[in-house]
Structure 1
Amino acid sequence: MLTIAVTGATGAQGGATARALLAAGHRVRALTRRPGAPAADTLRDLGAEVRRADFDDPASLAAALAGADSLFAVTTPFGTDPATETRQGKALVDAASDARLGHVVFTSVAHADRGTGIPHYESKHLVEQHLRAAGVPWTIIAPAAFMDNYASGWTLDGLRGGTFAWPMPADRPLTLIPAVDIGAFAALALQRRDEFAGHRIDIASDERTPAQLADILASATGRPITHQQVPLTRVRTWSTDLAAMFDYFSTTGLDVDVAGLRRDHPEVGWHGFADWATAQDWPALLSAPVSDTRH
């Protein structure tokens, strides 16, 4: 049984990882800036130990990591900016190195190591480089586009009107993954350090075009939904970072070896987009107020 610290434990990736590790019988130390939040209470109920940790407070990180065997590390630029994400990610890596942890699994993003020019990919790549040089055993998992984003924010708002508004051509394939599969793969890597240490792995569970995604969403929601390509100029008015990402998706593409992952790691229990879509509570989602949540 391992004691594994999980950052972002009240978020999508960290929460999924914490649940997968708890289900496998490990001790989970859930790290969060808000230990009194409802999501933290849910983790406590599942058996996790919740500790306060703030990337901008080195003492809190040192205390939270003391005595742990391994760390699941996740960072985000959303709510801050890419420069802050890089600074905080490096601080987390340094804390893990100082604590002499036996393994750090860092979740980045697919293709972040390919010079994409996407700000929130580049920020994660800088953290990747820092981790590789830190002297602690490491694994980098790099998820493709998040399926979970299709059930929130402006995408969900479009679905209410019968439109899958997505800034890509209808026939351009995109690799995708739900948070639950990220958590399962992270838990696998944390439990098999000798197998995964020193490896960087892009991960995805399905590949679909926007037109196919719209058809699957129509079937899952039980209402007509058609794909509408949102112009990148419009996306750029919201975020130049996201516009750069969708431009990359539409030109270079986000290729990941989905078939190879399913073949080599069947224990993850990979979910296709149809699996994910049919599992959502669409009546509740489509009637609830929109929250602008991105990952």
Structure 2
Amino acid sequence: MPIVAVTGATGAQGGATARALLDVGHQVRALTRHPDSPAAEALRALGAEVRHADFDDRASLDAALAGADSLFAVTTPFGTDISAEVRQGKALVDAAAAARLGHVVLTSAAHADRGTGVPHYESKHLVEQYLRAAGVPWTVIAPAAFMDNYASGWTLDGLREGTFAWPMPADRPLTLISAADIGAFAALVLRRRDEFTGRRIDIASDERTPGQIAEILTAAIGRPIAHQEVPLPYVRARSADLAVMFDYFTTVGLDVDVACLRHDHPDVGWHSFADWAAGQDWPALLSPVPARQ
């Protein structure tokens, strides 16, 4: 089968896409800055070809895309900044165009094309626009809020204390999606390019309020979890970008048509938030963090 190159293959979205493609027999070329990492070795064990690629090294991108048929493209401002995300995204699109790929699937963010004012949504939209003008067949998939973020970082720290700390009111709905569903939908788009080329699609698999999320986490974890609304000024003091995002979630919201997606694409195997929560290894995730020496 044709080779599908997957950027960010050792990350959440790229890794899920690579695994979904491998599951249906595609040849996958996993692109990563760290080809010797444990995550890269795991992909090799599943049958992927792993290549080094760095968005700031055009020669590495050209070599990594040579002979590929299509590309799953993911960019991020986290660990860099939004200007770097735009620069790197454009470099990746230029390399894809030079390689004359038959299809580029870019993952963005739900509502990034709606003038949200959220900095890392605006940067993704600039990459989307650049892709549309590049002259290669394209599809943009735009995930809603990531379920997987509830099992890491400061959210996980709160869960250890019995609190779901989230900067939204308890009764405000938010559309959600798991990394596994992003990967499955991306693989579907890559397999059925004629159906999806030239389309931009916001995707989500469930809609829950923070209060409902706390209840579901209580059932999955097996101990009481209470929602606590984190004040936006507290978030803003740590990240102005995220504060704008949570303000948008609260005042406007992400209106993704979950029912339509489930009806039109049942083979994705969409996960509800309860499905996702039940599938996590909470005892391992919530084990005490060793104190630093």
Q: Same fold (TM over 0.5)?
A: yes
The one-letter code matched in structure 2 to 1:27 is Q
> Hey, what does 1:254 align to over in structure 2?
254
- Alignment partner of 1:89 is 2:89: yes
Q: Percent identity?
A: 80
> Hey, what does 1:145 align to over in structure 2?
145
Describe the shift of the 1:196–1:288 C-alpha distance in structure 2 as closer, same or farther (beyond 3 A): farther
Equivalent-residue separation in structure 1 for 2:99 and 2:288 (angstroms): 43
The one-letter code matched in structure 2 to 1:232 is L
Equivalent-residue separation in structure 2 for 1:40 and 1:289 (angstroms): 26
The one-letter code matched in structure 2 to 1:108 is S
> Hey, what does 1:293 align to over in structure 2?
none
The alpha-carbon deviation at position 289 of structure 1 amounts to 3.1
Equivalent-residue separation in structure 2 for 1:221 and 1:83 (angstroms): 39
> Hey, what does 1:47 align to over in structure 2?
47
CA offsets 1:181-234 (integer angstroms, 9 cap, x no match): 000000000000100000000000000000000000000000101100000000
User: What SS does the aligned partner of 2:5 have?
Assistant: strand
The alpha-carbon deviation at position 2 of structure 1 amounts to 2.1
> Hey, what does 1:227 align to over in structure 2?
227
Equivalent-residue separation in structure 2 for 1:77 and 1:105 (angstroms): 18
> Hey, what does 1:170 align to over in structure 2?
170
Equivalent-residue separation in structure 1 for 2:146 and 2:87 (angstroms): 24
Equivalent-residue separation in structure 2 for 1:78 and 1:68 (angstroms): 27
Equivalent-residue separation in structure 2 for 1:2 and 1:110 (angstroms): 29
- Alignment partner of 1:213 is 2:213: yes
Equivalent-residue separation in structure 1 for 2:277 and 2:228 (angstroms): 19
> Hey, what does 2:200 align to over in structure 1?
200
The one-letter code matched in structure 1 to 2:137 is P
* Deviation beyond 4 Å, 4+ runs, structure 1: none
Equivalent-residue separation in structure 1 for 2:2 and 2:272 (angstroms): 30
TM-score in terms of structure 1 length: 0.98
Equivalent-residue separation in structure 1 for 2:27 and 2:58 (angstroms): 23
The alpha-carbon deviation at position 269 of structure 1 amounts to 0.2
- Alignment partner of 1:133 is 2:130: no
Equivalent-residue separation in structure 1 for 2:130 and 2:288 (angstroms): 41
Equivalent-residue separation in structure 2 for 1:82 and 1:267 (angstroms): 34
> Hey, what does 1:275 align to over in structure 2?
275
The alpha-carbon deviation at position 94 of structure 1 amounts to 0.5
CA offsets 1:228-274 (integer angstroms, 9 cap, x no match): 00000000011000000000000000110000000000000000000
CA offsets 1:94-147 (integer angstroms, 9 cap, x no match): 000000000000000000000000000000000000000000000000000000
Equivalent-residue separation in structure 2 for 1:87 and 1:272 (angstroms): 35
- Alignment partner of 1:66 is 2:57: no
Equivalent-residue separation in structure 2 for 1:52 and 1:109 (angstroms): 26
The alpha-carbon deviation at position 32 of structure 1 amounts to 0.2
The one-letter code matched in structure 2 to 1:191 is R
User: What SS does the aligned partner of 2:117 have?
Assistant: coil
User: What SS does the aligned partner of 1:287 have?
Assistant: coil
Describe the shift of the 1:252–1:18 C-alpha distance in structure 2 as closer, same or farther (beyond 3 A): same
The one-letter code matched in structure 1 to 2:163 is T
Structure 1 portions without partners, runs of 5+: 291-295
Alignment coverage as a number of residue pairs: 290
The alpha-carbon deviation at position 288 of structure 1 amounts to 5.0
The one-letter code matched in structure 2 to 1:170 is A
Q: How does 1:2-17 map to 2 (within 5 A)?
A: 2-17=2-17
User: What SS does the aligned partner of 2:170 have?
Assistant: coil
> Hey, what does 1:110 align to over in structure 2?
110
Equivalent-residue separation in structure 1 for 2:263 and 2:206 (angstroms): 13
Equivalent-residue separation in structure 2 for 1:28 and 1:117 (angstroms): 36
